Each structure stands twice: as C-alpha cells, then as structure tokens.
Amino acid sequence: MIEIKQLCKSYGELRVLNHISEGIERGEKVAVIGPSGSGKSTFLRCLNLLEKPDSGEIWFNGKEITATDIDTDSVRQHMGMVFQHFNLFPHLTIRQNITLAPVKLKKQSQSAADEQATQLLTRIGLIDKADTYPNMLSGGQKQRVAIVRALAMNPEVMLFDEPTSALDPEMIGEVLDLIRDVADSGMTMVIVTHEMKFAREVASRVLFMDEGEIKEQNDPANLFDAPKNKRLQDFLSKVL
C-alpha cells in the first residue's frame, strides 16, 4: 500500500533520513523503534508529507504522492495521524474536534458526523464528555479523543508518533488498549513507540532505525529475541 524508495531528508548539514526504502502492505502493523534522534518522527512525517523529502519517492495506493502535482490535502484525508502531544483543538468541544474535518471537507453532513462522533465516543467511554472542552480531559482521555478524531476520517492507514510518551504512567494502558483495538479492526498502522512490550504484542513487523537508516527489521519475536545488528543489541539491552 505504501512504497518508499530511496527517501532522503536533511536538516542543514544533518542527514536525518539516509536512502530509506521500505514497503508497507495493507493490514500490516509496523512498529518503528530506535534511539532518540534516529529519524523515526521524520520518517513518519514524510509518509503524510508533513515533512517534504529532499529526494526519493513515496507511493501510496499506486500513486506517487511525492510528485509535484499531487494534492497533498486529499492524500492526507486517507492517512490519520496521532501526535505525541495530542494536539486537540482547545477552542472546540470534544464532539466538534471529531466532526470538524469530515464536515468541512464535505465527507459527511453535520448530523451524520455528529452521529459518528457519538458512536466513537461511546466506544471509548467518553460520551459524557462530548460537549466539554479538551482542558477538562486527562492526558489519556485527550489522546484517545485524538485517535478517534483521526478515525472519523475513515483513513486507510494510521500513523502514530510516540502516542504514549507524553502520558503519566497510569494512563498509558488505556491508550494502548484503544490502539490495540484499532489494530484488531484490521487497520494498517505505522507506530513509533518506546513501548517494547506493546510492539512485540501488536506489531506484525518491527523496524529498527538508527542514524537515519533502517538497520534491521523482522517479525517481533525474531527481532527482540535474536537481534543481529550490534546497535540493535545495544539499544535493546538498554530499554528492555
């Protein structure tokens, strides 16, 4: 579904992504792990063009989305993204947060979008918060709303950038539960995470990034239990 070919990205002198080539199939759950600063976020943000690659190609559903004549807005409508810091819209109610994009982009009428928001909020047990503002929610609740806000666009793939890193420990579980739920529904996902246990359990494939390259990749059992790359061995010995 997503093909990445020779992707390069630098900030000034710093090469953050170094000729990355990778393919992601429909239904896959790909976890991306690696030390801080290794380019994981940049990689993820290139996939939905929040960052513009310097060179290389990204193909999505058989279309080159790095081409100059591509409508990036319509590409992003098919790719949900969840951020470390939630980025809910503080001036809108929880329900409005969820319905804004589908309604403004004419994907749904306001009443259909409201109905969908009700379903989504019921699913995550926050329907009683529908008409309050984000500042009334805990971190875990905010992130769960951010996830269903992305789901409301019915994306084909969900990108998660360290969705639990900004959370208090006691709230991590509820967010991981929801992500697991989304995974089980068959969603294609790319998830940057430091939760190794979660990656092992949910991911169908794990990529280890270091110095802007994918140094090793494998199914979780083999990658975690029999790492070959020296840097991956070091990394795992530190985090496990």
Partner 1 sequence: MRLFLAQSLWSDFQKSFIDKDRWLMYLDGLKMTLLLALVGTIVGIILGLLVALIKYSYSTRKKNKPWLSLLNWVANLYTTVIRGTPVVVQLLILFSLSFMPNGVVASFIGFGVNSGAYVAEVFRSGINSIDVGQMEAGRSLGLSSRATMRYIILPQAIKNILPALFNEFIALVKETSVAGYIAVNDLTKVADRIKGITFVNLPLYIVALMYLCIVYLLTLIQKRIEVRYSRSDRN
Ligand X SMILES: Nc1ncnc2c1ncn2[C@@H]1O[C@H](COP(=O)(O)OP(=O)(O)O)[C@@H](O)[C@H]1O
Nearest Cα neighbor of 26 from 72, 57, 61, 52 is: 61
What does 105 bind: ligand X, partner 1, Mg ion, none (CB cut-off 5 to 8 Å by kind)?
partner 1
Crossing angle of helices 110-123 and 94-104, in 10° steps, is 140
Among 61, 74, 154, 233, binds partner 1 (CB under 8 A): 74
33-41, 97-105, 115-123, 184-192 -> range binding partner 1 (CB under 8 A): 97-105
Among 4, 22, 38, 178, binds ligand X (CB under 6 A): 38
What does 16 bind: ligand X, partner 1, Mg ion, none (CB cut-off 5 to 8 Å by kind)?
ligand X
Q: In angstroms, rounded to a whole number, what is the distance separating the alpha carbons of residues 108 and 121? A: 17
> Does 59 participate in binding partner 1 (rule CB under 8 A)?
no
Please give the structure tokens belonging to residue 75. Answer: 């590409």
> Does 99 participate in binding Mg ion (rule CB under 5 A)?
no
* Residues in contact with partner 1 by the rule CB under 8 A: 48, 50, 52, 73-81, 83, 85, 87-91, 100-101, 104-105, 133-135, 146, 149-150, 153
* Residues in contact with ligand X by the rule CB under 6 A: 11, 14, 16, 34, 36-42
